[in-house]
Chains A and B, each alone.
Chain A
């Protein structure tokens, strides 16, 4: 075909398109087959049978936010580790030492977060 990048885009794009088309076809078919009856009571949010008394989008526990922040840090660490892991045999001992320093710095932050109680859920 043309060149590797375009090939990949075609492959992934076609797959995403066919996957979305399968889901879309299933939902459209169900729209054709299913009965529709308008009733305002059906459109009320579910709250175990009572009428919902407030908006559901309330402030939530800040812990979820902290987990998201830590995720960004450590996922980036993992992404930095991949190229290193691929080139590991060519880098030799220097690469090993450098990566230990890198992981060491991150572990300091990890234990700091642990001692601060970010990882504790009560």
Chain B
């Protein structure tokens, strides 16, 4: 029974972190967007515009939820959940600290599920999230939405392959698919983190994750100038808000996964810094990647669709396979 209560507490805490970060991420994204483009960003709501996201939330809440007559009602209503829920489930795989910690006299693992096939589970949930945009766009019965859905579907599955193959190098080095053990394999200072020996895999994984998240420079799915809003064209009110929310939660999850696989997860860069709790290290690494996503989004122009597919299929896929082969060779020699 205690275990069950501890599990519920952990789940609620993780959801609070993932959901609680989103309004601040949206606010800082808009603020940074302003700074990168020599503007001020939001300034009116609250001091320094800091209440902007909450204002947006209230506005979204009070908007009518429209379902077009031509749309496929049930699928249209359920599509945002399909994007939203897998993100949370991937969050259960991420370790926030060491196992078997003593907190208030209870023995707690600082991870929800130490799953032996964690990496596969994460990639499978990523594939599941593709259904959200595709079903939403198809059910809308709208030209823009259908085109956006097709584009995002093809883009997400293409980059999923490079992503999956880029991780194999790390798995060969760590000998495990469990995120907890991957972090343990990177113990003892930043020179043991996998982003140094697996630099190619790290870069491929990071760029592929931008494409998975449908963000600039790969946001072909909702290219405003040509497709209105892509698969979200027919959505309004809070149902649109769930799509948007889901994308930011996905960003949090993706940055957590990259930090865990390549940057040592909750481990400190130097051993004498271990006094600072692992949770803080993980969140600061996540914030670093989130800042990088924002920086890239507001700096680079969008790619054309054929360029996007060329990068995914003709450059990243062979590169990921070559990286895997070289890693395997080096490990068998050493």
A residues lining the B interface (CB < 8 Å): 1, 7-8, 10-12, 14-16, 18-20, 22-24, 26-27, 29-31, 33-37, 40, 42-48, 52, 55-58, 60-61, 63-64, 67-68, 70-71, 74-75, 77-79, 81-82, 85-86, 88-89, 92-93, 96, 99-100, 103, 107, 110, 114, 119-122
Contact = CB atoms under 8 A, between A and B. Distances in A.
Contact of B317 (A11, A27, A74, A99): A74
B160 A15 contact: no
Interface in B125-162: 127, 138, 140-147, 150, 153-154, 157-158, 160-161
B99 to A, nearest CB: 14
11 contacts: A12-B113, A15-B11, A18-B88, A23-B85, A26-B242, A29-B61, A47-B142, A57-B146, A60-B146, A70-B313, A121-B309
B87 interface: yes
Interface in B1-60: 3-4, 7-8, 11-12, 14-15, 19, 60
A34 B62 contact: yes
A35 B61 CA distance: 10
A79 B63 CA distance: 44
A56 B177 contact: no
B126 to A, nearest CB: 11
B180 to A, nearest CB: 13
Interface centre among A68, A75, A92, A99 (most CB of B within 10 A): A75
B115 A8 contact: yes
B12 to A, nearest CB: 7
Interface stretch (B232-240, B259-267, B292-300): B232-240
Interface of B: 3-4, 7-8, 11-12, 14-15, 19, 60-71, 80-81, 84-85, 87-89, 91-92, 112-113, 115, 119-120, 123, 127, 138, 140-147, 150, 153-154, 157-158, 160-161, 164-165, 168, 171-172, 175-177, 228, 233-234, 237-239, 241-242, 245, 305-306, 309-310, 313-314, 317-318, 321, 324-325, 328-329, 331-332
B144 A71 contact: no
A15 to B, nearest CB: 5
A11 B6 CA distance: 11
Contact of B63 (A34, A37, A75, A114): A34
Contacts of A20: 81, 84-85
A92 B332 contact: yes
Contacts of B161: 71, 74-75, 78
Nearest to A121: B306
B7 A56 contact: no
Nearest to A63: B154
Nearest to A87: B175
A96 B325 CA distance: 9
Contacts of B325: 100, 103
A119 B11 contact: no
A56 B305 CA distance: 21
Given A30-B63, A36-B64, A12 B158 contact: no
A46 B64 contact: no
B113 A26 contact: no
Contact of B165 (A46, A78, A107): A78
Given A7-B113, A67-B154, A75-B161, A99 B62 contact: no
A1 B68 CA distance: 47
Given A16-B85, A20-B81, A121-B309, A82 B119 contact: yes
